[in-house]
Amino acid sequence: MRRIAVLNSKGGCGKTTIATSLASAFANHGYATALLDFDPQGSALRWLSVRGENRAPIHAVAAHRRTGFNETRAFALRVPAGTERVVIDAPAGVNGAQLREILRGVDTVLIPVLPSPIDIHAVSRFIQDLLLEGKVRQQGIRLGVVANRVKENTRVYQALEKFLATLQLPFITQLRDTQNYVHASERGMGIHEMWDSRVGKDKAQWATLLDWVDTDAPALQHHA
């Protein structure tokens, strides 16, 4: 089983968008997939609730839910036996104990970043948190950064590239700014489940991401 967390303490950078599309890509590949929503706002679970029943199944786990009487936290976070891919959607503002809880058992962390100076400044602090508080290196967790909502022909993320290079962190891919993600989200779909010719470019951008995420695992087929 592989566990991939989509994390950044900064709000609105695309965590839920990326987590839901990633879960749908895994599910369409045939992996038994679970989506853990640590956000009390429950956006990932809302996405699942509007997802058509004919779509590749994704098991929902309300990870933000308080544990009940006689129920341990570990029990509440259980995924079905045989689950092959777990995708974790995290809320904004995670740090400290919650960050460590979310990181438990995770092998890969994807960090979406918007290409703006404020977001780049915020993510550099968050990456320090992951390294120092989250002890990701000691746990052998892979970190990868995804620039999200990138507008064509702009390169405001040069500072981010420089910063990542100093930490020897990979910059995985960029995802462009497009309403395709908004439309997919509204329908409980991942970007790979849209057949419109307009998503061709987005699927190509995802191919790099899926390859990196599934390194050391059977190669993903892309449903282009």
Ligand X SMILES: Nc1ncnc2c1ncn2[C@@H]1O[C@H](COP(=O)(O)OP(=O)(O)OP(=O)(O)O)[C@@H](O)[C@H]1O
What does the binding site for ligand X look like in residue numbers (CB under 6 A)? 11-17, 39, 43, 91-92, 148-149, 175, 177-178, 181-182, 185
- Nearest residue to the partner Mg ion, using Cβ: 16
- CB 44 → ligand X: shortest distance, Å? 8
Contact between residue 89 and residue 7 where contact means Cβ atoms under 8 Å apart: no
Nearer to Mg ion, 43 or 205 (CB): 43
Q: 43 vs 148, which CB is nearer to Mg ion? A: 43
For residue 182, the minimal CB distance to Mg ion (Å) is: 14
CB proximity list for 29: less than 8 A, separation 6 or greater: 220, 221
For position 15 contacting Mg ion by CB under 5 A, the verdict is yes
Q: Which stretch binds Mg ion (CB under 5 A): 38-46, 51-59, 176-184, 189-197?
A: 38-46
Nearest residue (CB) to ligand X, 16 versus 108: 16
- Residue 86: name the closest of 38, 148, 132 by CA: 38
* CA distance linking residue 127 with residue 145, whole number of Å: 10
- Between the alpha carbon of residue 196 and those of residues 20, 191, 201, the distances in Å are 19, 10, 11
Q: Which residues contact 44 (CB under 8 A, 6 or more apart)?
A: 16, 19, 20, 35, 37, 89
207: its two tokens: 């191919």
Q: End-to-end distance of the chain based on CA atoms, in angstroms?
A: 25
Partner interacting with residue 29 (select from ligand X, Mg ion, none; CB below 5-8 Å by kind): none
For residues 92 and 219, which CB has a smaller minimum distance to ligand X in the complex?
A: 92
Name which of 13 and 147 has its Cβ closer to Mg ion: 13
Q: Which residues bind Mg ion (CB under 5 A)?
A: 15-16, 43
